[in-house]
Structure 1
Amino acid sequence: MADADILIMSFKRKVGRSNPCSFSYGFFPSPSHVFRKPEFAIPYVSNSRQRWMHGSEVRAALKYLRGLESNGAQMFWRHKVDGEGKLQHLFWCDGESRFDYKQFGDVLALDTTYGKSDKYLYPVVVFSGVNHHIHTTVFASAIIADETEETFVWLFEQFKVAMEAKSPGLVITSGDAALENAISRVFPNARHRLCSQVILRNASSKVRNPKMTAQLKDLMLSDYEVSEFNSKWDEMVAQFGLEDHSWVRDMYKERKMWATACIRGRCFVGYKASSRCEGFYNKFGTLARSCHNLVDFLQHFHHCFDEFRFKELEADFQSGHGEEVLLTLFKPLERSASRVFTREAFRLFRTVLERAYTIIVDFDCKQLSTQSIYKVREYGQPRSEWRVSFSQPTLQFRCSCFGMETVGIPCAHIVKLMIFLDMVEMPISLVRKRWTKSAKEIVEGTFEEGDGTCISLEDDDEDDIGPSLEDDNEVNFSNFRRRILVISDSDESDVNDGPPYKRRAHG
């Protein structure tokens, strides 16, 4: 029996609870590595003598984390206690999560809207991102006693130490003021985006008009030029009489943190919400009600976490074995992409390939010293025009829609030009490392500290406001209509019926 188990049993005896009630209920790997549920459950036991901050319970939790480290998990954890020796904050992550952050830490989502259990409503903070299968991956976790700015500063500093000082390129949060201030102090170079789900939820509660919420969602996610966005915003405000509404005015001031029209070219890999871990909490939430102590909580948390990692292994196997069925008319290009991208990323690319049917390329192109500029438009929309540059020596593509830079998948305009040029292989310049089957086959230590940009097969030369298609100031595409492709927030692998557990909306 582990030292942590002995210590927690001793603690339970002191508070008057029998040890037979201490069986854990969660997802355990069987010898065949197939996750299953055990055939027993914990009866709920309430005891007023039990305390969340009890010293014996904290020592048992730390011993549990040390036990994981002794089993090769390469654990990193930090905790903080108050003047009376009671636990205030606990931060932890393991070696695999830290390695995932090296590969996929370009975008970081922070979710603090969940409580620990029915009795212990301390916020659980989850640092998450998107892996090469477009699945949610958890980088680190924490339990905190409060949600003040100083608490978040301490938390982010521990995260920075654990991740060897690598800062994220983009951080998505719920918009809490203390959280925003802490991010600006610890990650000053990180761009900040507000969670789309929180914005829409706040719109429903503060304005209480479903039609206005629907129009706000359209303004948030649709493809508009900045001038067109401003015009539609003014129309919405006038239509619903919101000129003096303080929340609406504040949202307009922060439009560069949530409106698609104002954040193009920023690499957020289609991540628009901080709560992609819904499926994780759907599984974990029902089990957390049975937690009698901190060790139970950590065990349940890691059992659910292990199941999600097992799904990643399954996705790795599926991507590495078998051939995809080719469905489009551009089979050579489709086959080339299927051999490079993971299965989920390839299917996303295939939707782009299918959309390329509706794109028309102008035969006249502008020739510059090192590149050619093509005009493309969508069928039936002669006023919608984009420009795509192509450099023959380097096989580099750039589009005025900035879809490649924003999501990491070539946009339909670039794909159409590739077809127009009779290309049958995916050029390496259009393949982001993070979406490939070999995304995690990187030698440890090859990343640069503080580099929060997307990992790619080539050396990207992107500035803070996205790529430019200018050559010696001859061409400027800033006034052209831009469109981007957006990955759906829903993570099919994370979907589970039932409401998330203990979700608390920030206001």
Structure 2
Amino acid sequence: MYAADNVIIEDNINEERDEDAAIKDFKAYGDVLIFDTTYRTNKYGLICAPFVGINNHWRTTMFGCAFITDEKADTFVWLLSIFKKSLCGIEPKSIFTNQDLAMSMGESSVYPNSRHRLCLWHLQKNFVSHFGTLKTNPEFKNILLAQDVSKTWIRKKKEWFDRLYGLRDKWCTTLSKDIFSAGILSSQRVEVTNRAISFKPNRTTKLLEFFHIFEATVKRWRSTEKSDNFRYTTEKPRTTTKILKHAAEVYTLNLYKDFKLEFDTSLGAYAREKTTSMQYVKFFDVSLDEDNKHTYQVIYYTLNHEFMCSCMCFTETGLLSFHILKIMQMYSIHAIPERYILKRWTKLAKSMIWDENESV
């Protein structure tokens, strides 16, 4: 147990020491960190601050957990510094948090090279809490009927919406594609934080009771990971398509499903080559409609099978988009180029850690 005036961090000792398991997990999956302090989960009013990540099966994994008594910038700096030190100084590429200025200041101080993101799940909850009260307001209804909503925003919620707009680079999916985030900002992953903090304690829970709930949660998550690992050794997706066979060999089952969805989408896509004088570079417009209304631009470097797409899906999620897969089909590329296989999504995501242990 680590203790300070304003922070208590619990260590859990299991069959494998939790700190050892957490370090292994962080080495493999620490490129994305979810840090949340919105839960008061005990009778003492302490703030629960779990550190959570996403493993290679796209399931939540626990890196650590803390209790703090306040949400001041100094507290977050201290806590994140301890967390960073305990996890070998590794810096995530993206850190997802709730909307908190002090937390943001702490992150930028301790993790200057990480991108601070805001969880859409929290933003949606906050939006409902801010906008929802207006729906029962007779004055708002009258203004809405009069098609003069701007007055309501100015008088009621303009400050909150202006602040949210000022932070748009941290939550807007269009502005957040230039760095890896495991796809957390995409709509289908919007409740990842809510699912992650599923301890189910309440305000009357004592710390010792919380510890047992926390311990059971971590055990359940790790048991699920073991089951997922066993599944991919026994369950083989049935396919005769060469590139899907390759994807099934390298990716875990859940990630294979995501890849297959992109591949299936590519089958119905349209690709139009654009004229160019460059010999080994091809340019394409790819869309799902024949009228070319919503297109993305794909560049294909034929000599080394390198692709670039304006959707930036690979940069953001680590999986190829259907736009690129469409061009790969056109050129009979039946295997995923090695540069586009992100190890953290593969069956051997922890192989580097295994190798390190064997060399000791």
Summarize the alignment of residues 155-304 of structure 1 with structure 2, pairs less than 5 Å apart.
155-208=79-132, 240-241=150-151, 242-243=153-154, 245-272=158-185, 276=192, 278-279=194-195, 281-282=197-198, 284-286=199-201, 292=206, 294-304=207-217
> The residue matched to 1:89 in structure 2 has which SS?
strand
Name the structure 2 match of 1:487: none
Is the Cα contact below 8 Å between 1:334 and 1:350 reproduced in 2?
yes
Name the structure 2 match of 1:386: 296
Name the structure 1 match of 2:33: 108
Is the Cα contact below 8 Å between 1:111 and 1:125 reproduced in 2?
yes
> The residue matched to 1:121 in structure 2 has which SS?
coil
Match of 1:401 among 290, 299, 311: 311
Q: CA RMSD in A?
A: 2.6
Distance 2:134 2:333 in 1: 47
Distance 1:406 1:141 in 2: 27
Is the Cα contact below 8 Å between 1:280 and 1:304 reproduced in 2?
no
Q: Which moved more, 1:238-247 or 1:409-418?
A: 238-247
Would you say how many aligned residue pairs link Structure 1 and Structure 2? 333
Say whether 1:89 aligns with 2:8. yes
Shift, 1:275, TM fit: 6.3
Distance 1:274 1:298, change over 3 A: farther
Is the Cα contact below 8 Å between 1:266 and 1:406 reproduced in 2?
yes
Shift, 1:168, TM fit: 1.2
> The residue matched to 1:141 in structure 2 has which SS?
strand
Shift, 1:90, TM fit: 2.2
TM-score (norm 1): 0.61
Gaps of 5+ in 2: 12-17, 136-146
Is the Cα contact below 8 Å between 1:360 and 1:377 reproduced in 2?
yes
Per-residue CA deviations over 1:157-216 (Å, capped at 9, x if unaligned) read 0011011111111111111111111111111221111111221222222233799xxxxx
Higher relative helix content: 2
Distance 1:153 1:378 in 2: 47
Per-residue CA deviations over 1:246-300 (Å, capped at 9, x if unaligned) read 1111111111111112222221111137963544544x325x67855x4443233
Shift, 1:239, TM fit: 5.0
* Letter of the structure 2 residue corresponding to residue 264 of structure 1: K
> The residue matched to 1:335 in structure 2 has which SS?
helix
> The residue matched to 1:438 in structure 2 has which SS?
coil
Per-residue CA deviations over 1:385-420 (Å, capped at 9, x if unaligned) read 222122233221111111111111101100101111
Shift, 1:356, TM fit: 0.7
Say whether 1:366 aligns with 2:276. yes
* Letter of the structure 1 residue corresponding to residue 192 of structure 2: R
* Letter of the structure 2 residue corresponding to residue 324 of structure 1: P
Is the Cα contact below 8 Å between 2:274 and 2:282 reproduced in 1?
no
Q: Which moved more, 1:412-421 or 1:187-196?
A: 187-196
> The residue matched to 1:143 in structure 2 has which SS?
strand
Distance 1:369 1:91 in 2: 60
Shift, 1:442, TM fit: 1.0
Is the Cα contact below 8 Å between 1:367 and 1:373 reproduced in 2?
no
Gaps of 5+ in 1: 1-61, 63-77, 212-236, 447-507
* Letter of the structure 2 residue corresponding to residue 192 of structure 1: H
Shift, 1:431, TM fit: 1.1
Which structure has the larger Rg over C-alpha atoms?
1
Name the structure 2 match of 1:58: none
Distance 1:416 1:312, change over 3 A: same
Is the Cα contact below 8 Å between 1:174 and 1:274 reproduced in 2?
no
